Structure 1
Amino acid sequence: MISRIDAFFKERTSLQVTTACLLLVLVLAALDHATGYELSFSIFYLLPIAFTTWYARMVHGVLLSIVSASVWLIVDITAGNQYSQSFIPLWNAGVRFLFFVVTAWLLTTVRDQLEKERSMARLDGLTGVMNGFAFTESAQTVLRIADRFDRPTAIGYIDLDNFKRVNDTLGHAEGDKVLKTVASVLSTCVRKADLVGRLGGDEFVVLLPETTYSGAATVFGNMRESLLKKAGEKGWPIGLSIGVAVFLTAPSNLNEAIRLADTLMYRVKKSGKNQLLIEAYGRPELTGHPLNTRRPREPRGAHPQAPGS
């Protein structure tokens, strides 16, 4: 029940949520007036304020706080409640307004902190790129869209060569710097729509939607050059073994797609490391039959990067 209510309000705009909660305040005010001043409705006024603050913005929560305090004041006066001093109703209305605003502020703080923790839970703690869970979740969504519209996709598997040597000779702190630098360079070389994730250790994965063979060759070639240049500047004795699977038609199985890219990466490892290997696959890719003899036609002037360049 709660999950359904949450989903319902998340699908609504801030204006729709605020309007619905405003109507609820007016209904509560009518009930409050009808029952007289002896029955308190204070707790019920908090509900629309809480919903507005949580699913819209704090400014909407403050707006609803003003309305709630005002209608409560009107109901209080028109219900016939007698006070010893004329300013007391105004004082009570001010106190109620402050109580409503503090509640809205606290809810906003809790919501922002919760969203921050959810975001952090999806990121790798060291490098700041997506962790394995977040990458898998996002990549599956991207592949579903690519499959629906029959669009090409590229997945690259990147493993650092001689990374253990960095940890053994330069220390783990320097090894952490290497991983952070790799993640930073990868993130810089891709578009906003692309995905970068760390699967653990010194292994990274990159998904490029709307990317053909020539596009993948350009992007991963630039990645490799930038990372090797950075490693040379820092004096890090590392290389990069990169396997890239380009799917002419988006794969429907993410795990199998990553496995194919991983297999290409291991072929690089076995052939001497520190190289880039790209292969194109058609819909039969899930049976393991690459289209090595029929790569997609390249745009005029394109020069696909050969494996090992």
Structure 2
Amino acid sequence: MQGQLTRNDVLLKSDSTYAQAWTIHGRQGQSVTIDLESDAFDAYLFVRGPGISGGRDYQDDDSGARGQHTGEIRDGRVLDQRDERVEAQVAGALQPGRVTPVRIAVLVSGGGTNLQALLDALEREPGAGSRERDRAQITRVIADRAGAGALDRARRCGIPITVLRNAGDAAELLATLADANLVVLAGYLKLVPAPVVARFRWRMINIHPALLPAFGGPGMYGRRVHEAVLASGARVSGATVHYVDEQYDRGPIIAQAKVRVAADDTPDTLAARVLAAEHWLLIRVVEGLVRRGLPDEPIRLEDVQDVG
């Protein structure tokens, strides 16, 4: 497992430092090595669980250079010296209620089925007493036209909406996105102005109904994409989530989901299966980015084969 600490993580009120909580499942006798390293801050490790000797917590303020810590827990025994000095500060600090959710703004042009998939995913319960919305919330839906059906979905959920007067006006869009941590283009057909892309570099993603770099670019959206796929004779299509840059559909790919093209497919039947893949893939990527703390550089998640 790998993680990256950012300002979107847990803020400990005791000393105004940031932290991440990880759950590790293993078997008795298994070795677990935890390695923390940073050139920017002093690393600190806190471990709690039934495998700790005597049921006690384990803490270690690193003794290595450059904020480095390497510790090992084996057979239920802690193999490093426990630091008692800060136990009172850390105990109870990593509570889900203290996590500030990532604020997501969604840009739309159409009916909003991808928006709805995200809304549903952020409301579901992955575990007892917690919800995905504790990690992330859609805080605004922005459309380039007043007739976009996605706006009705947002209204039903009580989410603030904005209809842009001029989608090409960078200042207007930047002002609308002012408090967003992550921007998701979910069926948004306008080219995002370069200053907005620069402001949200590696924080703005798009979902496209084909396996980029094929069948992308200006004018390639909706039914046109599926018609082009069938006309090409391709046997596989799918969905792509990628980072947004200054050109249509050209940013680094984050993940793809492949969909087989049937011999009797029409643009409509292919579109229906690809749309289902879009929903699943977009949820997976958003959750993956949020759990990684919105990394400051592009990441590539594992592709998914034959989802439809």
Normalised by the shorter chain, which TM-score bucket? under 0.3
Higher strand proportion: 2
TM-score by length of 2: 0.24
TM-score by length of 1: 0.24
Higher helix proportion: 1
